[in-house]
Amino acid sequence: MLRIGVTGHTDLSPAAQTQVRDGMRAVIRRLTGGVGYDRMRGVTCLAPGTDMIFAEIVLELGGGVEVVVPARNYRQTLSPKSVEEFDRLVARASAVDYMDHGDSGIPAFRSANAELLRRSTHLIAVWNGVIPANPGGTGEVMDSARAAGMPVEVIRLHGTGDV
């Protein structure tokens, strides 16, 4: 079973969203090769932006989605539009597991990212190349995956305005 995890930016401009969709479809098609989409699982925390786009594409292609929710209050931290999308994708997921955190924040995100990597054989990262000052982000997840010997496919955002 091919198990693809995802990490990436949450605030994507419309141009970046298009680039992410196209890039993810290409990477997923290449990774699945002769395996078939029904033998693929996408592992995601369902953050807005990259994660939700990834889940949509995996489901669209016929794969299954496993959701690792960082904290019990995670849904309440999302915007109304993101809550609607979160609920729709959770309803279609093959598994939904909550980390043992009551509140969202860096400890919860780090725990969820560690679990995401534990469940994955490959990682897709949507990244603009900037390492932010706050911990627990895309760069940190990519570093952890590489340190564990996991293949990382990076979709670099170029010329899309703000991320």
Please determine, for residue 117, whether its predicted confidence score (pLDDT) is greater than 60: yes
Structure confidence at residue 59 as a pLDDT band (50, 70, 90): very high
Q: What is the mean pLDDT of the chain?
A: 92
Supply φ then ψ for residue 40, to 5 degrees: -120, 140
Q: Quickly list H helices, 38-100.
A: 50-61, 80-92
Going by their DSSP bridges, the two strands 64-69 and 40-44 should be labelled as: parallel
Contact present, 5 and 120 (Cβ < 8 Å): yes
Q: Is the pLDDT of residue 31 over 90?
A: yes
CA dihedral 15, 87, 71, 64 (to 10 degrees): -80
Show the domains of the chain with their CATH numbers.
2-129+136-156 (3.40.50.450)
